[in-house]
Structure 1
Amino acid sequence: MMRRSQIGLLSRLLLLLLVVELTPPAIPVPMRSSPQSLALLRARDQCGRELTAAQRLQLDRMQFEDAAHVRHYLHCFWSRLQLWLDETGFQAQRIVQSFGGERRLNVEQALPAINGCNAKTSSRGSGAQTVVDWCFRAFVCVLATPVGEWYKRHMSDVINGNA
């Protein structure tokens, strides 16, 4: 026969097992993305629907070759975010605001870089360049500035779920 102390111990063990069994496993809570990051991801997904897996991977790695699919993707991406207007190019002030303003970017460096690339790559008078080409050339120009380095880091964080 079992002693009372053994019965008490056995009942506590059974109770502990029930608690452990009934407790749902801890589910890691993903980091909440900012509305701006979600907008970037949505634009990326919507504009990348026509891309092959290899093309998508290339863009995710921030490799922007001069190819039709890259030019169209970039124009779609920036236009969808309403940060590119076909009449005036990149909306420098809106880009700075959308990407965190003075907290995240050196505004004194960003605004002249973006506006300078708009002006430098615009050849609206020649007619030979489409707005898609202009967007691509202006974007490549911005990538060559410190703003471009920040953009690459930020987009990598967004794609990897860290922003």
Structure 2
Amino acid sequence: MNHLRLEIICWSCLLIAMAVSTEAASVWKLPTAQMVYEDLEKCRQESLEEDAHTLRCLVKKLGLWTDESGYNARRIAKIFAGHNQMEELMLVVEHCNQKEQDTSHLDDWAFLAYRCATSGQFGHWVKDFMSQKEVER
């Protein structure tokens, strides 16, 4: 009987591990400026133009934010890898994320952490990234 119970537990653990790895294996893709603009428009409509809510909606859609841990610094750094400062950018994003963390006001957390992180060189990179779409129009 104990052997059967152990086997059931092992199979259950295996199934859970497979489910988790399948979810993790769903590949996150680098967003293009086009994707950002499309998601931004959807979020603006959903949030009735409220900036903080629009921003959080956008970064969630892009896979750059979770309500549990805030910004995903590694993914953000991958978007701007061409600037060859991934480690520094990750430190800035993580610092701002922790500094502004407020799980009871998620929109404000997302907005204030974004404002903190984009107050320096990273802000110029974001503007350059978004201007790619303007050139395409």
> Does the alignment pair 1:119 with 2:115?
no
Task: Within 5 Å, give how 1:11-160 maps onto structure 2.
Answer: 36-49=32-45, 69-97=50-78, 99-101=79-81, 103-124=82-103, 127=104, 130-160=105-135
Residue aligned with 2:63, SS: coil
Larger Rg: 1
What is the CA–CA distance in structure 2 between the aligned matches of 1:72 and 1:105, rounded to whole Å?
31
Structure 2: gaps of 5 or more residues: 1-29
What is the CA–CA distance in structure 2 between the aligned matches of 1:81 and 1:44, rounded to whole Å?
10
What is the CA–CA distance in structure 2 between the aligned matches of 1:139 and 1:153, rounded to whole Å?
16
Q: CA RMSD in A?
A: 2.4
**1:105 Cα shift?**
4.8
What is the CA–CA distance in structure 2 between the aligned matches of 1:51 and 1:83, rounded to whole Å?
18
1:96 touches 1:105 (CA, 8 Å); kept in 2?
Answer: no
> 1:6 matched to which residue of 2?
none
1:90 touches 1:118 (CA, 8 Å); kept in 2?
Answer: yes
1:83 touches 1:94 (CA, 8 Å); kept in 2?
Answer: yes
Residue type of the partner of 1:73? T
Residues 1:88 and 1:51: Cα distance change in structure 2 (over 3 Å): closer
Aligned residues with identical type, % of pairs: 27
Find runs of 4+ consecutive structure 1 residues off by over 6 angstroms. Answer: none
Residue aligned with 2:124, SS: helix
Residue type of the partner of 1:121? E
Equivalent residue pairs, number = 108
Q: Work out which structure has the larger RCO, using CA pairs closer than 8 Å and 6 or more positions apart in sequence.
A: 1
Residues 1:109 and 1:44: Cα distance change in structure 2 (over 3 Å): same
